[in-house]
Amino acid sequence: MNPIKVMVNGIPGNMAQVVAKHALVDDRFELIPYSLTGPEITVSEFDLETITIRLIHPELREKEIIEIIEKYTSFISIDYTHPTAVNSNAEFYCKTGLPFVMGTTGGDRNILEETVRSSAIPAVIAPNMAKQIVGFQAMMEYASKTFPDLFKGYSLTIKESHQKGKADTSGTAKAMTRYFNAVGIPYSESDIIKERNPETQMNAWGIPEEYLTGHGWHTYSLVSDDKTVHFEFIHNVNGRDVYVQGTLDAVSYLSKKIEEGAAGSVFTMIDVLKGV
């Protein structure tokens, strides 16, 4: 079986680097030595393990992507860029016929999905690529549909902490807000407590110093009106490796869907977990 060609966009960003390094040594994939990058990046190349990645700046991507497609024919793009680039990148992928896995959070997610559905390509879009966390979200989705108003009368606090460089509020925390709304708790995404200060993260949260530059800690606390009952759900991730396997599994899943002729389809990580 031929390896799946992948182009990881967002290098030299940390998450893009980690995914690219894993794809480089995974026999299922062939890493294309190109990456879309942001306007703030001043270099044109980035050394990644044994290969050099050519960085493509926004003003050059229209021209250079044609040459890349001619050279590699077909490939799947993995997007770990910046929240502000989510929608414009999706439009670019759809316009140029590039199926993609969107690991970047942020942007207008409704427009993002509609862009894909109006196109000729499929994509995997998810606010979180960690399979275990996605499974937890699936459980919450089931509860929200099966037990509406289960927690009616409870108050909710959502706290999330990520590395200082993460610009937006956690997409996972936003998704969880909707599930809690469905089980009877009014709570807005704007109420989410977002921590990005390394000193507070280490001293108040207890996040290990070596993971201050790469972590995702989430706590969801529910308290009854009379304060006699307290539920708490926690998922704390140190490092980035847990997201990589889910991302690469999403690429494999998307490749199968492309072979089946999927077009204009939006798949989620729950679809990837189910494998259907």
Rg for the chain (alpha carbons), in Å? 19
Q: What are phi and psi of 33, to 5 degrees?
A: -80, 50
What residues contact residue 246 under an 8 Å CB cut-off, 6+ apart?
128, 129, 130, 131, 134, 269, 272
CA distances from 168 to 24, 114, 206, 219, 227 (A): 29, 21, 22, 17, 32
Give the C-alpha distances (Å, rounded to integers) separating 107 from 82, 193, 207, 254, 258.
Answer: 9, 19, 28, 22, 25
d(CA 118, CA 137) in angstroms, rounded, equals: 27
Cα–Cα distance measured from residue 194 to residue 25, given in angstroms and rounded to the nearest whole number: 35
> What span, in angstroms and rounded, lies between the C-alpha atoms of 83 and 171?
10
Which sign, positive or negative, has the C-alpha torsion 199, 188, 112, 129?
A: positive
- Residues assigned a catalytic role: 162, 166
Pair 180, 211: CB distance under 8 Å: no
Given a contact cutoff of 8 angstroms between Cβ atoms, the answer to whether 160 and 216 are in contact is: yes
Q: Which two tokens stand for residue 83?
A: 């929240």
CA-wise closest residue to 218 among 199, 201, 234: 234
Cross-strand partners of 193: 159
